[in-house]
A = this chain, B = another copy of it.
Amino acid sequence: MDLLEKRILTDGEVYPGNILKVGSFLNHQLDITLLNEMGKEFKRLFSDCEVTKILTIEASGIAIASVTAQFFACPVLFAKKSASANLRPSVYKAPIHSYTHGNDYTAVVEKAFLTSEDKVLIIDDFLANGEALNGLIELCRQAGAEVVGCGIAIEKVFQGGGNKLRDKGVRVESLAMIETMENETVVFQK
């Protein structure tokens, strides 16, 4: 998606260690006009799926998921992050390791809100190693819900998570795919 790639090049900040900061428009301050265009693009990409629910994870996935849901006319469900694995029986839970923050947490959703009737589009801002996505897919598996695909804003292709999921047959569509970030320069996969 040209609009997002251009915005990453103009307003993204690259730091050593393959760190890309997009806090000025995507995950701290939010450019809602851009998010709207991203939502339209996700609708175009997944228009063949009868999406009944958009699933994301707090906090930075919520804005993209909420704006996108308007185009699918479906509710959003956001998984909560819990430091505890010892939770009420009314929830589905999946352990997730964050390479970014170097910690472990548990992704949690209430069972009442994710069911075997659901066709789920998973939305998130970043895809790197795929840990968060794997956790969200696991929540859907527990619920017996069908994952119709994953819509990602920015995929760091070189970190491999996206292609591992595609190899498993998961449909992953990323609006900006970063092939490399060597020498602090963003190169997109074409």
Interface residues of A (CB under 8 A from B): 23-25, 28-33, 35-36, 58-59, 62-63, 65-67, 69-70, 73-78, 80, 109-110, 112-113
Decide: B78 and A59 in contact? CB cutoff 8 A: yes
A74 to B35, CA, bound (A): 12
Complex Cα distance A32/B58, Å? 16
Number of copies: 2
Chain B: which residue is nearest A71 at the CB level? B32
Q: Inside 8 A of A25's CB, which chain B residues have their CB?
A: 75
List B contacts of A74 (CB < 8 A): 32
The residue in chain B whose Cβ has the minimal distance to the Cβ of A109 is B28
The answer to whether A112 and B24 have CB atoms under 8 Å apart is: yes
In the bound complex, CA of A69 to CA of B58 (Å): 19
Bound CA span A74–B31, Å: 8
Contacts of A112 in B (CB 8 A): 24
Closest to A72 in B: B32
